[in-house]
Each structure stands twice: as C-alpha cells, then as structure tokens.
Amino acid sequence: MKETLIIAGFGGQGVLSMGKILAYAGVMQDFEVTWMPSYGPEMRGGTANVTVILSDRRISSPIAYEFDTAIILNQQSMDKFEPLVKAGGTLIYDVNGITRHPERKDINVYSINATEECAKMGNARLFNTMILGGYLKVCPVVSMENIMSGLKKSLPERAWKMLPANEQAILHGAAIIEKKN
C-alpha cells in the first residue's frame, strides 16, 4: 500500500493541519509517513500545500511528481495539480471558488461543497475535517478510529472541546461527497 496525496488550497483553510491529522492517523496504523509542507510567506491568504505519503514500505522521496490523490481547494491549485494526478487516481475538490472544473476523463473526480455545509453548521473552521471525511469515504486508507486519535493528537489540549464537532464534520463530509464523472 502506498498513497501519495497532495492537499492544496489557500493558507488558512487548514490544509497543513488536515495533512497532519492524516499523518498522525497513518502512524497509528503503523504506516511509514512523510508530511512535506510548502512553508513560508504564503501562509494565510496565498497558496499552501502539503504532500502526505502513507506507505507500508520505507518511503524514498518525500517529494512527488505525480499523485494518487489530489484534494484541491482553489483554482490555482486546480490548474497546477490536476495534470499531476496519476491515471486512474482521484481528484477531490471543493466547488467554491472553482471557475474551471476538472476536465480529465482518466481519473475519478469527486466534489464536495464543504464551504456551504460548514456555513450551515455555523462554523467555517470545520471546513478541513469535513473535506477529510469526504476523502476517507472515497479513499479509506486509514481507519476512522485512527483518524479520531490523529485528530486528538494534532489539536492542542485547549481545543479538545472541538473534537465532537470535528467528528461530526468528518461524518458529514463522508455523506455529502459526490462522484462527478
């Protein structure tokens, strides 16, 4: 098993922490894990992305040039990463702010309207865990139990009161993701 995933969007959308939850869950599941962020001045507002690799074998390069799965949360990232999904791979995107929808026919495309659903739930900060729930529905690479522990590990103790809402968001994300092709 090897899953090479890129999560790409704007800084502030929780891109890096979504990757972190998954990476922690991967450790719980006894996978080898790398979490490689694009770090720097683009935080908050600019583009941000993180490459997460989960594997049952030693991971050679933490830098990837093609991805099994891309989670895309803005148009710039769509333009950059849609061509880099492996044939037969998966692309998941939030429709909000996307002006050009994915065009490839050789990959599985899913959309999730997490922006709107979070607004309905009254908490925009659940956005990333809702997306994560959608991803796990179509790519169940780690168990839900390990995701929940990963979530707890990646949050500081003062934010643990947010755990139930995030768990709910994960389950909701799994329910609302839609296949587009």
Nearer to other proteins, 65 or 99 (CB): 65
Least Å distance between CB 83 and other proteins? Answer: 13
Nearer to other proteins, 87 or 122 (CB): 87
Rounded CA-CA distance 108/40 in Å is 31
Nearer to other proteins, 104 or 153 (CB): 153
Least Å distance between CB 123 and other proteins? Answer: 27
Which window, 63-71, 97-105, 120-128, 158-166, contacts other proteins (CB under 8 A)? 63-71
Q: What is the 3-state secondary structure (H, E, C) of the chain?
A: CEEEEEEEEECCCCHHHHHHHHHHHHHHCCCEEEEEECCCCCCCCCEEEEEEEEECCCCCCCCCCCEEEEEECCHHHHHHHHHHEEEEEEEEEECCCCCCCCCCCCCEEEEECHHHHHHHHCCHHHHHHHHHHHHHHHCCCCCHHHHHHHHHHHCCHHHHHHHHHHHHHHHHHHHHCEECC
Least Å distance between CB 42 and other proteins? Answer: 10
Q: Tokens representing 89?
A: 């791979």
The one-letter code for the residue type at 132 is: L
Q: Tokens representing 20?
A: 């972190």
Q: Which of residues 21-60 bind other proteins (CB under 8 A)?
A: 23-24, 27-28, 32-37, 39-41, 59-60
Least Å distance between CB 150 and other proteins? Answer: 9
Do residues 178 and 111 lie in contact, with contact meaning Cβ atoms separated by under 8 Å?
A: yes
Q: Which of residues 148-167 bind other proteins (CB under 8 A)?
A: 153
Least Å distance between CB 20 and other proteins? Answer: 7
Task: Give the one residue of 17, 47, 55, 64 binding other proteins; rule: CB under 8 A.
Answer: 64
Nearer to other proteins, 90 or 146 (CB): 146
Nearer to other proteins, 32 or 167 (CB): 32
**Residues binding other proteins (CB under 8 A):** 20, 23-24, 27-28, 32-37, 39-41, 59-65, 153
